[in-house]
Amino acid sequence: MFKIQTLNKIDAGGLSLFPLDNYEIASEIPQPDAVVLRSFNMHNTELPKSLKAIARAGAGVNNIPIDKCTEKGVVVFNTPGANANGVKELVIAGLLLASRDIAEGVNWAKTLADKGDEIPALIEQGKKNFAGQEIQGKTLAVIGLGAIGVLVANAAQALGMKVIGYDPYICVKQALKLSNQVKFVKGIQSLLSQADYLTLNIPLTPETKNYINKEKFGMMKDNVRILNFARGGLVDLDALKDALESGKVAKYVTDFPNQKVLNMKNVVAVPHLGASTKESETNCAMMAVNQVKDFLQDGNIKNSVNFPEAQMERNGGSRILIANQNVPNMVSQISSVLAAEGLNIDNMLNKKRESIAYNIIDVAQHSINPEVEAKLEAINGVFMVRIIEG
């Protein structure tokens, strides 16, 4: 029986993929094999010894202590692209919220609720305070051309905007999806200096914290409108406050309100709704659950942010999973332990990612001497061993 702990509400369509005869699922459960979560902050959560995997039903993994997980041999998954359309649609709404004074206008209209027959005339008098501009023909700069950025770029281009994009690490798969009308810009200064609108679609990492800072505001045109549906920490809020007050930034639309942001002028704050659609929640949960099942049951790894991709068909016998430091002479030490136990390797996959290696080894035997696990763990450099009997 595998134990799954959910740290946020996870869509039932995803959770139902765990067969209940083999899985126990609860928000509080001792010694979980895996955690499935959304935005829950795990940085101060102790990782139980039983924990083998964490699956983020979503894209951003800044709420998970990745390095600590890797050291402990815990595989962290996310669900790339599974909520990208949901976020794209809200970014498009964000473009309009940044252009037309929709949020303020709607709030004002509600204040007239008790004015009876005067309301239509009051509306016609008051609407001049909420006039805006159109997005057609304006330049949108997209920072980060991943799953979300590419969808946003293509959709904005189809709405009549000039779209320019920046992503020094763009992957081929996403580059191929980008409309050929979108101009790829190599330098951030050139990108920022052309933008009427700017959308951030990059992950929050130590390198991108306060990515939009005083220096970058200095590179922008006056009256720029900024959309942040990625993470609040990407923007230096003291510099943002100055930029909003000076008029450098005309509007800041964010999915990540906090006290500082809510007290700034010309901010439209959305309560982290980017991925809050039935479709995105189901897609993310299904992908996360399938990845966790494949790992717990067969040791296969797909869409991990800290371990290499590793998938191999079972041979009908037992499977030995080993994670070790990516240093010479590991495979020969592992095979020596197995040979000494009379275990002949039928099939083996050895995949590497930066400083770690992950091995899937299939043997014909259906049961394995329990001492094998301890012997493999005793090899210097091995930090995770798991045996799945066949």
Ligand X SMILES: O=C(O)CCC(=O)C(=O)O
Judged by CB under 6 A, how many residues of this single chain contact ligand NAI? 32
Concatenated DSSP letters of 78-115: --TTTTHHHHHHHHHHHHHHHHS-HHHHHHHHHTTTT-
At its nearest, how many Å lie between ligand NAI and the CB of residue 11?
A: 14
- CA dist 269 and 253 (Å) reads 6
Give the angle subtended at the CA of 56 by the CAs of 31 and 156, to the nearest 5°.
Answer: 170
38 binds, among ligand X, ligand NAI, none (CB under 5 to 8 A by kind): ligand X
Q: Helix, strand, coil shares of the chain as percentages rounded to 5?
A: 35, 20, 45
- CA dist 285 and 13 (Å) reads 7
At its nearest, how many Å lie between ligand NAI and the CB of residue 16?
A: 23
287 binds, among ligand X, ligand NAI, none (CB under 5 to 8 A by kind): none
39 binds, among ligand X, ligand NAI, none (CB under 5 to 8 A by kind): ligand X
Q: Which residue has the tokens 């239509």?
A: 120
- For ligand NAI, the binding residue among 7, 36, 42, 58 (CB under 6 A) is 58
Q: Is 144 in the site for ligand NAI (CB under 6 A)?
A: yes
208 binds, among ligand X, ligand NAI, none (CB under 5 to 8 A by kind): ligand NAI
Can you say whether residue 299 is alpha, beta or left, with left for phi > 0 and alpha for psi between -120 and 50 degrees?
left
At its nearest, how many Å lie between ligand X and the CB of residue 180?
A: 28
230 binds, among ligand X, ligand NAI, none (CB under 5 to 8 A by kind): ligand NAI
Partner residues linked to 301 by β-bridges: 310
Q: What are phi and psi of 357, to 5 degrees?
A: -130, 150
Site string for ligand NAI, 91-130 (x = CB under 6 A): ----------------------------------------
Q: Is 58 in the site for ligand X (CB under 6 A)?
A: yes
CA atoms in the 13 A half-sphere facing the CB of 168? 5
Q: Is 84 in the site for ligand NAI (CB under 6 A)?
A: yes
Q: Is 165 in the site for ligand NAI (CB under 6 A)?
A: no
- CA dist 187 and 200 (Å) reads 15
Options 24-32, 191-199, 267-275, 357-365: segment touching ligand NAI (CB under 6 A): 267-275
Q: Is 39 in the site for ligand X (CB under 6 A)?
A: yes
Q: What are phi and psi of 233, to 5 degrees?
A: -65, -5
Q: Is 317 in the site for ligand X (CB under 6 A)?
A: no
At its nearest, how many Å lie between ligand NAI and the CB of residue 149?
A: 6
- CA dist 106 and 366 (Å) reads 66
Residues 6+ positions from 126 with CB-CB distance below 8 Å: 108
Q: Which residues bind ligand X (CB under 6 A)?
A: 38-39, 58-60, 83, 274-276
Q: Which residues bind ligand NAI (CB under 6 A)?
A: 58-60, 80, 83-84, 87, 143-149, 166-170, 174, 201-204, 208, 229-231, 255, 272, 274-275
